[in-house]
Amino acid sequence: MRGRNTYHFRESINILLKTKWIGPYLLVPPILAFIVYAEAYLSTHGVTGIFNIEQRTVLAIWNGSLLLTLVAGIKSCMFFSGIWESSWFRNSLALPVSRSSGFWGPYLAVLSVASIIFILTIGAVAAALPEPGRFPLLQIIAESYVPVVWAVSTGAFLGILTKGTAGSMFFTALLLLGFLAGFPLARLPEWLYAVIPPVGRLMTLGLKYPQGLIQMLVLILHSAVVLILGRILFGIGSKRR
Amino acid sequence: MPPYISIGGYSDPPRIAHLSLEAGSGELVALVGGPGSGKSNLIKSIAGIRSTGWGSIRIMGAKPGSIRAREKAVFVFQNCNFAPDLIVRTQLERRIALIRGVPVRKVRMYIENWCEEMELTEAAKKVPQQMNRSQLQMLSLAPLVLTDPLVAVLDEPLVNLSSISISSVLSTIFSLLENKASVLALVQSKSPLVKRADRVVNLL
C-alpha cells in the first residue's frame, strides 16, 4: 500500500524541520569557524605543533565532524525519546503502516537531516581551505561521516532505552571517552578499543596517512550493533506498553 | 464469514475481569464503563499497540496489530490522535491517503470539502494545541467519513462535542452502519450512543 513505509519518515522530517530541532545544528558552522581560526592562530605561533596547511584542512574537517557528531547524537537521543514517550506516535502505529517504519522512518529522518548539515558544513570547509594534496579528500570526508552515523544510531538506541536527558548525558560521556581514548598519550589495552567507540582514534589516525580504515570499520560495526539493539528494543517496547 | 470484531475472554486485571463480545456487519455495539474502567487500554489492545494479556481479539478474523486488521479498521482514540507540532490538516491528508492507498493530492479535495462542510477549514490549518477540544475531536473523527472503513473502534467519540457536532457524528456513524460497517463505541453510560446502540455491554 502506498506510503506504508514512508509515513513515519515524512512525519519525522516535518517535525525535525521545526526550529527547536534544526536550530542547534546551525550553531555548528560558527563554532567551527572559530575553532579553525583559533587553530590557525595557535599553529602560526607554534603552539599546536601543526604547521602543515594540509593537516590543518584535515583537522578542520574532523573538528566539523566531531561537533556535528555531538549535536546529532544529542538531538537523536532527544528526538527518539520524545516520540517514543508520546501517545500520538504510539497511536499512529494503529494506522496501516509497516511497524518497522516506526523505527526506521524516524532514524532515517534524523540521519538525513544530520547528513545534509554534514555535507553543507564539510563542503564549506573543503571549499574554504586548500585541498590537502597528500590526503585523498573524499576518503577523509567518508571517514569523518562515519562518527555522524554512529551518533545518530547510538542516539536512537539510547532514546528508546531511557529518557532524552539521561540518554544525551550518557552519549556525551561515551563520545568524550571515545575521543580521549584516541589521543596518543592514552594508553589502553588493545581489546578496550573494541568496546570504546574509536571516534578519537579515527580522528588522530585521520591526521596521518594512510588512514585508520580498521577503526572506521569498527565504528561502523558499533553503529550496526546499537541499531540492531535499538530495533529489538523498539519491537519489544511497542508490544509491551 | 467471521464477525467483524470478536473479543473472547479478554481480561485486564484489576479493571476488566472477563469480556467477550462479537460485532457483525452493520452493528453498533456500545461498551459502557466509567472513567478508569479500562476502555482506553482495551482500544489499544484492539488496535494492536498494547499486548492483549489474557483472551483473544480478532478484527475480520485477523490478529490485532496485523496489517490485515489495520487496513480494514479505523481507530479513534480519546486523545492524542495528532502529533502536537504539526498542522492537523497535513496530518489528516497523510493519514487518509495512507488508509485509502492513494497519493496525498488525491484526497486534498475531499478533506477540504469536508472541513468546509463542518466549518473546520480555519481550525484544520492550526496545530493541535491551538484548537479547542471540540474542533480537535471532530477532526479526529474525519477518517470515519473519508475512508469508509469496515470496522470502526471509537473511544469516547462524543465527548467535548457541541450538540450540533454530536448529531453530525451520529449521522456519520449511522451512515457507516448502513454501509455494513461494524462500530464498537467505548463510552460512558450517559453517552447518546448507548440509547442508539444495537447492543450494550457493561464493563463492570
Instruction: Give the three cell numbers for residue B196.
Output: 442508539
pLDDT at position B43 is 93
Q: What angle do CA B7, B10, B13 make, to 5 degrees?
A: 155
Give the residue with greater pLDDT, A50 vs A155: A155
pLDDT at position B16 is 85
Q: What is the pLDDT of residues A45-70, one digit of tens each?
A: 776 666 577 777 888 888 899 999 99
pLDDT at position B148 is 85
- What's the order of all strands across the beta sheet hosting B182-187? B73-76, B151-155, B182-187, B28-32, B199-202
pLDDT at position A211 is 66
In this prediction the pTM is 0.89
Q: What is the pLDDT of residues A129-138, one digit of tens each?
A: 776 666 678 8
| Residue in the block written with cell 502536537 | B84
What HEC string does chain A produce? CCCCCCHHHHHHHHHHCCHHHHHHHHHHHHHHHHHHHHHHHHHHCCCCCCCCHHHHHHHHHHHHHHHHHHHHHHHHHHHHHHHHHCHHHHHHCCCCCCCCHHHHHHHHHHHHHHHHHHHHHHHHHHHHCCCCCCCCHHHHHHHHHHHHHHHHHHHHHHHHHCCHHHHHHHHHHHHHHHHHCCCCCCCCCCCHHHHCCCHHHHHHHHCCCCCCHHHHHHHHHHHHHHHHHHHHHHHHHHHHC
Q: What residues in chain A have their Cβ under 8 A from chain B's Cβ atoms? A: 1-4, 7, 10-11, 14-15, 18, 20, 86-99, 238-241
Chain A residues in contact with B102 by the CB 8 A cut-off are 2
User: Residue A132, by phi and psi: left (phi above 0), alpha (psi -120 to 50) or beta?
Assistant: beta
pLDDT at position A32 is 86
pLDDT at position B153 is 95
- For residue B118, the SS3 value is coil
Mean pLDDT within A157-172: 94
Q: What is the mean pLDDT of chain A?
A: 87
Instruction: Give the three cell numbers for residue B170.
Output: 451520529
ipTM for this model:
0.89
Q: Do B98 and A7 touch (CB under 8 A)?
A: yes
pLDDT at position B52 is 77
Residue B88's closest chain A neighbor by CA? Answer: A11
Could you tell me if B101 lies within 8 Å of chain A, comparing CB atoms? yes
**Cβ neighbours of A158 (radius 10 Å):** 27
Could you tell me if B67 lies within 8 Å of chain A, comparing CB atoms? yes
pLDDT at position B50 is 87
pLDDT at position B152 is 94
pLDDT at position A132 is 67
Q: What is the mean pLDDT of chain B?
A: 90
- Cross-chain CB nearest to A238 (options B49, B71, B98): B49
Per-residue pLDDT of chain B (204 residues; tens, 9 = 90+): 778 999 998 888 888 888 899 999 999 999 999 888 889 889 999 999 888 778 899 999 999 889 988 988 999 998 888 999 899 999 999 999 999 989 999 999 999 999 999 899 999 999 999 998 899 999 999 999 889 899 999 999 998 888 888 998 899 899 889 889 999 999 998 899 999 999 999 986
pLDDT at position A1 is 62
* DSSP type of residue B52: -
Mean pLDDT within A68-86: 94
Query: In this model, does residue A241 exceed pLDDT 60?
Result: no
Mean pLDDT within A106-126: 93
- Which domains does chain B carry? 5-202 (3.40.50.300)
Chain B residues in contact with A84 by the CB 8 A cut-off are none
Q: What is the pLDDT of residues B25-83, one digit of tens each?
A: 999 999 999 888 889 889 999 999 888 778 899 999 999 889 988 988 999 998 888 99
